Chain A
């Protein structure tokens, strides 16, 4: 990895966690990185998650985030299905 390598923490919830068989993983990315790139990396690791491509939602450091938002070293990216609380 070059000096541009960053490491992020990824959390999966609900059906995504169950399908992946993992709730937490760390992900090495190359800067500049964004949510979409990290999500691609996660799907490479867990190809079964491809079926959530259209529905998956994201949060960076506990704030809702869009796919084009940037990620920096040490960020926590959460990926989850549309919420169904209540």
Chain B
């Protein structure tokens, strides 16, 4: 839908800017999910993360998730998803999702759905850089859903 935003970027994500771009007068709720880089995994100290994306397909899959959300929650006003790739430091945002809607319930539900689906279908991969090595994060193998 026009007004929605789906982007892949190498630059730091401008979260307030994204919220501002999506805010319309009809919205009464803005729910934002901000995924940030954690400094540990299974007891191991993480130094940084490296994200890789299949860019054109990632944007297509994000748009598909947007369409799914509109099918499930017709009241959603605007959808914004920006995923970053390249090297990321601890506490930097890797993904920001913003949903606006007239009332809060729909925005909460749609935002949760968006991040859950993104982790299943959007072709992006991350590698954890440890003090003593590095390792690709194993995604869960999903059933192909078309």
Q: Which residues of A contact B (CB under 8 A)?
A: 11, 13-15, 17-18, 55, 57, 59, 62-66, 78, 80-86
Which of these, B35, B58, B94, B121, contacts A64 with CB under 8 Å? Answer: B121
Q: Which residue of A lies closest to B53 (CB)?
A: A85
**How far, in whole Å, are A14 and B53 apart by their CA atoms in the complex?**
8
- Residue pairs across A and B with Cβ atoms less than 8 A apart, 22 shown, are A13-B52, A14-B125, A14-B136, A18-B136, A62-B54, A62-B56, A62-B60, A63-B146, A81-B125, A81-B136, A82-B139, A83-B120, A83-B122, A84-B126, A84-B137, A84-B138, A85-B51, A85-B53, A85-B95, A85-B118, A85-B122, A86-B95
Known contacts A59-B123, A83-B124, A84-B124; is-contact A78 B141 (Cβ 8 Å): no
Which of these, B35, B95, B125, B127, contacts A83 with CB under 8 Å? Answer: B125
**Which residues does chain B contribute within 8 Å of A62, judged by CB atoms?**
54, 56-57, 60
Q: How far is the CB of B94 from chain A (nearest CB, A)?
A: 7
Task: Tell me if A86 and B136 are in contact (CB < 8 A).
Answer: no
- Interface presence of B2 (CB below 8 A): no
Known contacts A13-B54, A66-B144, A78-B57; is-contact A86 B94 (Cβ 8 Å): yes
Which of these, B35, B51, B57, B142, contacts A82 with CB under 8 Å? Answer: B142
